[in-house]
Amino acid sequence: MSSSLRRGALAAAAIAFSIASLAACGAGSNAQTLEIKPDNAETSVGDVRIQNATVITQPDLKSKGPAVITATLFNNGRKAQTLDSVVVDGVGKAAALTAADGKKTVTIPAGGSLVLGGKGNASAQLPNSRTAVLDGNAQNITFTFSTTGAVKITAFVVPAESYFKQWGPSEVPAVPTATPTQSASGSVKPSGSATPSGSVSPSGSASGTPAAGASASHKAAGH
């Protein structure tokens, strides 16, 4: 195992419990669970706090599907803020943001929190970015909020396996198999059924009839 993958595995183990506890909490940044500083990506700028930021890729290394960014966002201010963009360094496009209700505006309520990633939560989905986002690496991410502005953080990249499967991309392309090719090549049975070509009776009777006619005409000629 490479050093980067070992580092990613250690990071995955370290942040798994923190994501679960904060996602279940949802009680704001003053909750008791937040008194424990997690051993993972977290930062604070102004009224905004970001915790448990993680980039989760497809479980299959050969897959070219999207990746997602997960995080818990806290707004300690008295005014709601919107998450305007999430950009991962090296990826050409910003993440596609979708609120839990399916709308494009992701809002963090005043004095509240919001979870990115996971079923029923808001999402931040990256386009196909296998060459730019590698499992085990640490990626620089910029979250931009309507009032606070840009907040930078460094997060680990992990595949959607084990615990992270429930937080990973909802679009997981099927792994290509050889079944279509085998069925295509195996469909030689119709040509292998040699019944049409093997039934030589029609051609045999046809060839026999002209021969009989020929002998009859020969007799007539001899007559």
Domain regions of the chain by residue span: 3-166, 190-222
**E-assigned strands of 27-135?**
42-45, 48-57, 67-75, 81-88, 96-98, 106-108, 113-116, 123-126
Q: How far apart are CA 84 and CA 87, in angstroms?
A: 10
Looking up tokens 């818990």, which residue turns up? 72
| Selected residue with higher pLDDT from 96 and 26 | 96
State residue 207's pLDDT score: 42
Residue 110's nearest CA partner among 143, 142, 148 is 148
Higher local confidence (pLDDT), 5 or 112: 112
Calculate the alpha carbon distances from 27 to 75, 97, 123 in Å: 11, 23, 20
Q: What is the pTM of this model?
A: 0.60
Q: What are 109-159's pLDDT values in tens digits?
A: 999 999 999 989 999 999 876 667 888 889 999 999 999 999 999 999 998
CATH of 3-166, one of 3.30.450.40, 1.10.3720.10, 2.60.40.1890, 2.130.10.10: 2.60.40.1890
The predicted-structure confidence for 13-40, as pLDDT tens digits, reads as follows 444 444 444 444 444 444 443 343 445 6
Mean pLDDT of 170-198: 49
CA-based Rg of the chain, rounded to a whole angstrom?
33
**Which tokens is 153 given?**
């953080």
Query: How far, in Å, are 14, 51, 80, 106, 199 from residue 39 at the CA level?
Result: 6, 10, 28, 26, 79
CA distance readout (Å), 10 to 24, 137, 148, 173 = 23, 12, 32, 27
- Distance (Å, whole) CA 21 – CA 32: 11
At 10, is the secondary structure helix, strand, or coil?
A: helix
